[in-house]
Amino acid sequence: MLNHHKLVSEIFRETKTIAIIGLSPNLEKSSHKVAVFLQSKGFKIIPVYPKDDFILEQKVYKTLEDIEERVDMVNVFRKAEFVPEILRQIEKRGDVKTLWLQLGIVNDEVISMAKSLGLNAVQNRCVMIEYKKMENL
């Protein structure tokens, strides 16, 4: 089993495109701040949000299933009860390598299922904070 820092480092090395589920257009929301940060680090951000047509100058998709291009990571800013459905959508896609549940989002069952599907799975951690930690190593 990879230790946490090695896993996170590997995830960031392999990730180019990140679908952010629950990416708010509100500049004050954590999801927006994290997306801006990730974009500034060279990641392609694909917003998944029920409203709006564009966020951060990127086309907004209503669901993960609507995205036609390859997705390396799914970063979730939704409540834990929505995560099982998100995992079903990830499984259908077949291209996602990492499921990342943001700080405060915990679903042990889904994380276990994701790992059994061969995915990298992280929960209850902020992708931006973890990236900054990697930068400082």
pLDDT in tens, 93-126: 999 999 999 999 999 999 999 999 999 999 999 9
CATH number belonging to the domain at 4-135, selected among 3.40.50.11890, 3.40.50.720, 3.30.1510.10, 3.30.465.10: 3.40.50.720
pLDDT of residue 87 exceeding 70, the answer is yes
pTM above 0.85, yes or no: yes
pLDDT in tens, 24-70: 999 999 999 999 999 999 999 999 999 999 999 999 999 999 999 99
Exposed e or buried b for every residue in 18-57, given b needs 16+ CB within 10 A? bbbbbbbeeeeebbbebbebbeeeebbbbbbbeeeeebbe
Domain map (residue ranges) of the chain: 4-135
